[in-house]
């Protein structure tokens, strides 16, 4: 019987900057050595150069460029590390079988810590997540983040989230104006993942509905709702974190 192996060194692959920042903060605060990459190609470059030598790789399942099964196969050739898929949506059976585990976003910090510290990595059930309450902000997630960092750091995190959401909404509007359903779905998926990580349940649900339905006639209403959420977020930052 092999000796149980605990992960100490991690490589996080995620194209969403908010997801990377929240997960990186969680991992580093729990004593893990962390490298991160914004995509599959960059991750392979880190591995080939020796800049990253992880025990476990956390990879987002949907990213531009090298992603999904193709990325898993490339990683298998480059490293012996265990591979855990992460996503804001259930993933295919093929990806579940190709990887060593799966976590559904929003990744709970305690669940992530428990998985990474376990002797073995089990596949988390890939069922559709239970819709959160119809509220702007999930207080449980907010309180967990609040307990993990200073008020200044928490404010900076939500300021970054607001800036990121504002930028993505500009790209989303451009994709809608161009009638590009594929790009609309991709951006909606990214918004869903980033907002879920910081408890923005309202934006998460709107983006999820947009990604799944993606009907031209619903686009105007959805982007208006997302812009309203952004205004609420900016208002929260001002009221909750007075300068």
The rounded average pLDDT for each run of 10 residues, N- to C-terminus, in the chain (243 residues) is: 54 89 79 88 95 91 90 94 85 87 73 63 43 66 85 89 93 94 92 88 91 88 91 87 65
**152 in Cβ contact with 215 (< 8 Å):** no
- Residue 2: per-residue pLDDT: 37
For the chain, give every domain's residue range.
Answer: 9-117, 139-238
**197 in Cβ contact with 181 (< 8 Å):** no
- Residue 130: per-residue pLDDT: 41
Domain 9-117 listed as CATH 3.40.50.2300? yes
- Residue 27: per-residue pLDDT: 75
Distance CA 186, CA 166 (A): 16
| Entry pTM | 0.71
- Residue 149: per-residue pLDDT: 83
Exposure string of 45-55, with b = 16+ CB inside 10 Å and e = fewer, is ebbeeeebebb
Q: What's the CATH code, domain 139-238?
A: 1.20.120
């Amino acid at each position: 019987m092999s000796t149980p192996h605990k992960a100490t060194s991690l490589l996080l692959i995620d194209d969403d900057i908010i997801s990377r920042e929240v997960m990186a903060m969680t991992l580093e605060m729990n004593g893990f050595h962390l490298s991160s990459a914004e995509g599959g190609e960059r991750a392979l470059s880190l591995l080939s150069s020796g800049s990253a030598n992880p025990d476990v790789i956390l990879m987002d399942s949907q990213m531009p460029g090298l992603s999904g099964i193709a990325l898993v196969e490339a990683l298998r050739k480059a490293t012996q590390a265990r591979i855990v898929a992460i996503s804001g949506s259930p993933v295919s059976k093929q990806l579940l079988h190709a990887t060593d585990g799966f976590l559904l976003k929003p990744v709970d910090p305690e669940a992530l810590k428990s998985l990474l510290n376990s002797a073995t990595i089990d596949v988390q059930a890939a069922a559709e997540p239970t819709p959160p309450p119809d509220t702007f902000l999930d207080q449980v997630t907010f309180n967990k983040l609040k307990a993990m960092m200073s008020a200044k750091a928490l404010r900076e995190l939500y300021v970054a989230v607001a800036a990121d959401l504002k930028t993505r909404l500009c790209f989303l509007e451009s994709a809608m104006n161009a009638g590009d359903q594929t790009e609309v779905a991709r951006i909606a998926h990214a918004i869903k993942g980033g907002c879920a990580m910081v408890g923005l349940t309202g934006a998460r649900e709107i983006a999820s509905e947009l990604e799944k339905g993606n009907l031209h006639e619903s686009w105007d209403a959805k982007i208006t709702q997302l812009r309203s959420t952004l205004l609420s977020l900016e208002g929260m930052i001002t009221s909750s974190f007075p300068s």
